[in-house]
């Protein structure tokens, strides 16, 4: 039977240890407050139209920058991380000329896997603190999860705008609990990107227009997942063999070469989703699509969008000149 924590420090340590027992790879605690610097950055980014057709990013702006409006009385943001890294998958994809699906989407839908663990941790937290008012989130509400991951010390914001951790690279998912109880708060860690610009240099559509700034309308992940219209022809060649998402900026990151292997098997790649040639994807019908991706994040693209992506990848893979270029010159073959 779990006992109540004697004080805030003990409470923090009990929740930290339970998170590791449940299979989370990192946890950090931050004070709930309005993110003034992020508010200005996000407002400018939206005004410039960098979010494209993702109109939902304009909604609930105040809640997005101030979690206390999302959870009244909130005092803490507890950020958590789970790795999905499979080093062998990196090598397989690098050596393959098959169509590519972003690694995070090759396992079970992370929303479900992550949220199950979050609910367990929430229940444990309540068992050591008494009644808790709060909510758990995994891409399910207007929460600036990356910003809170930085605030809680889980990692730093990379120049590609993914969160980086010295042990886990950027191959992980982020979720959080917003609670009305206090903890011993962690602090942001240094930025270890240094002078490296590999992610910027490698982006085939030049979506990383400045360090730490991404134009969503040019990002291959946006084009293949969020965009419901036809993909502008100017980006077809740069998309290469990607049919859902894109990992290029993460694949070239030196920190990801050192990343530890994840331990949650449900997030690991299912061979039937990634190890397929272009003929298989071209022949995939609606019923097969629904069955194959029933428990996968790939279903977010919808069948029509997915087949649109496959058609572009097919043209690129069958092109006599397999060289894909960005605006700075040759990208790769």
Tens of pLDDT along 247-278?
Answer: 999 999 999 998 999 999 999 998 778 789 99
Are both 310 and 271 inside the same structural domain?
A: yes
Cα separation, 147 vs 152, whole angstroms: 9
**Confidence category of residue 97, pLDDT binned at 50, 70, 90:** confident
CATH number of 138's domain: 3.40.109
Cα separation, 115 vs 317, whole angstroms: 37
In degrees, to the nearest 5, what angle opens at C-alpha 144 toward C-alphas 37 and 173? 135
Are both 203 and 54 inside the same structural domain?
A: no
Contact 289, 244 (CB under 8 A): no
Is the whole-model pTM more than 0.85? Answer: yes
Residue 247, SS3 per DSSP = coil
Cα separation, 154 vs 157, whole angstroms: 10
Residue 303 lies in a domain: yes
CA nearest to 133, candidates 185, 187, 67, 82: 67
Q: Show the tokens assigned to 138.
A: 């995994």
Are both 174 and 220 inside the same structural domain?
A: no
Count of domains observed in the chain? 2
With a CB cutoff of 8 Å and minimum separation 6, the contacts of 100 are: 93, 240, 241, 242, 243, 247, 274
**Could you confirm whether 139 is annotated as catalytic?**
yes
Task: Classify residue 94 by burial, with Cβ atoms within 10 Å: 0-12, 13-18, 19+.
Answer: exposed
Poorest-pLDDT segment among 24-33, 249-258, 313-322? 313-322
Contact 198, 158 (CB under 8 A): no
| 328 pLDDT more than 50 | no
Residue 79 lies in a domain: yes
Mean pLDDT computed over 94-100:
81
Residue 218 lies in a domain: yes
Containing structural domain, residue 203: 198-323
Cα separation, 317 vs 202, whole angstroms: 19
**Confidence category of residue 326, pLDDT binned at 50, 70, 90:** very low
Residue 94 lies in a domain: no
Residue 190 lies in a domain: no
Which one of 62, 66, 109, 139 is the catalytic residue? 139
């Amino acid at each position: 039977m779990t006992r109540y924590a004697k004080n805030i420090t003990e409470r923090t340590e009990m929740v930290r240890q339970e998170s590791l027992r449940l299979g989370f790879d990192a946890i950090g605690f931050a004070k709930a407050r309005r993110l003034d610097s992020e508010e200005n950055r996000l407002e400018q980014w939206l005004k410039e139209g960098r979010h494209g057709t993702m109109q939902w990013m304009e909604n609930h702006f105040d809640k997005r920058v101030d979690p206390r409006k999302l959870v009244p009385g909130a005092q803490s943001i507890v950020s958590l991380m789970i790795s999905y890294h499979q080093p062998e998958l990196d090598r397989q994809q690098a050596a393959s000329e098959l169509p590519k699906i972003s690694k995070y989407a090759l396992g079970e839908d992370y929303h479900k896997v992550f949220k199950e663990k979050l609910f367990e941790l929430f229940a444990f937290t309540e068992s050591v603190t008494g009644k808790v008012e709060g909510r758990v989130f995994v891409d399910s509400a207007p929460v600036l999860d990356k910003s809170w991951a930085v605030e809680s010390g889980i990692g730093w914001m990379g120049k590609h705008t993914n969160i980086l951790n010295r042990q886990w690279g950027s191959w992980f998912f982020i979720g959080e609990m917003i609670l009305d109880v206090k903890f011993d708060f962690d602090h942001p860690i240094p930025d270890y990107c240094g002078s490296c610009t590999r992610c910027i240099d490698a982006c085939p559509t030049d979506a990383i227009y400045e360090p730490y700034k991404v134009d969503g309308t040019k990002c291959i992940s946006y084009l293949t997942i969020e965009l419901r219209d036809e993909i502008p022809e100017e980006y077809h060649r740069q998309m290469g063999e990607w049919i859902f998402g894109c990992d290029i900026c993460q694949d070239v990151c030196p920190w990801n070469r050192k990343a530890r292997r994840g331990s949650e098997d449900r997030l690991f790649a299912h061979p039937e989703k990634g190890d397929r040639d272009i003929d298989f994807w071209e022949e995939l019908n609606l019923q097969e699509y629904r069955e194959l991706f029933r428990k996968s994040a790939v279903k977010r693209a919808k069948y029509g969008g997915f087949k649109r992506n496959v058609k572009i990848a097919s043209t690129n893979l069958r092109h006599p000149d397999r060289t894909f270029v960005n605006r700075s010159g040759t990208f790769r073959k």
